[in-house]
A and B are shown apart, each in its own frame.
Chain A
Amino acid sequence: MVVYRRPQPSSQAAHRTADTCIEAFDRELDYLFVTLRRLGAAPQEVEDLVQDVFLVLYRNWKSLDTSRPLRPYLFGVAYRLFRAHLRRRRREVPYATLDPEDDVPGPEGSFQSKESTRLLLAALARLPLSRRAALVMHEIDEVPVADVARALSLTRFGTYARLRKGRKELAAAIRRLSKGERSDEARSPFVRS
């Protein structure tokens, strides 16, 4: 006896879920790339990390409250994945303190080539990751402190403390970088005295 099966409603639902999830992912792709760069990911690492963010998003899509803004959630996922990635990189790579400002931008890197952005990224890279993440989320993405605290699993007090210290460190890093560039030129072995 041949049993004809109608297409499974759940299978259609799965397709719809995948489509809506990929559409949302597509809308936030630019944001994810720039966020991972701001957090300190090297240009060549970003695509793999974005793929990891998609995996988490896809697995949790059904339980996500899509009426709320997606960016704070995506930021939290990107932050945790990048933090885990950094831990792995520190274990695996003997030269763990690769300076992002020395990275050669790939063919896709030109979208971030403005001098001021480069200076800000280099300065952010000098901050500890937890303070860097809070600062990027609040000062650049303009996410309210309560949402920053929720996305990064911090208390509100802890978030304020990270922001206060992070602002000071960022200002100091920018000052050092601005001064350092000039003094490096003066001390450069390629400049004859």
Chain B
Amino acid sequence: MKHDHRSFDRDLAVLLKRARVVPLLPEVVRARVLARARVTAVTLAEPARRRGS
């Protein structure tokens, strides 16, 4: 039983270690999210630009 616990803890540690890898986003998703962020940045910057502040 104790042995089962130990092997389970090892498996859990392996699972957590494997989960540390950050998978790369598909380029199409990255492009879409960044385009949206740029539009937001421009929109938010516009009133400040007009005020010249």
Q: In the docked arrangement, what's the CA distance between A48 and B33, Å?
A: 9
User: Chain B residues with Cβ under 8 A from A18's Cβ?
Assistant: 38, 41-42, 45
Contact B15 A174 (CB under 8 A): yes
B residues contacting A by CB (< 8 A) are 8-9, 12, 15-16, 18-20, 22-26, 28-30, 32-34, 36-38, 40-42, 44-45, 48-49, 52-53
Is there contact, CB below 8 Å, between A15 and B45?
yes
A-B contact pairs, 9 of them (CB 8 A): A10-B52, A14-B45, A14-B49, A34-B22, A58-B41, A116-B18, A120-B15, A171-B9, A174-B12
Please measure, in the bound complex, the distance between the C-alpha atom of A11 and the C-alpha atom of B52, giving whole angstroms. 7
Query: Which DSSP category, helix, strand, loop or mixed, fits chain A's interface?
Result: helix
B33 proximity list for chain A (CB < 8 A) = 29, 47, 50-51
CA distance A108 to B24 in the complex (A): 11
Could you tell me the distance between the alpha carbons of A58 and B43 in the complex, rounded to whole angstroms? 12
A residues near B, CB below 8 A?
8, 10-11, 14-15, 18, 21-22, 25-26, 29-31, 33-34, 38, 47, 50-51, 54-55, 58-59, 108, 111-112, 114, 116-117, 119-120, 139-142, 170-171, 174-175
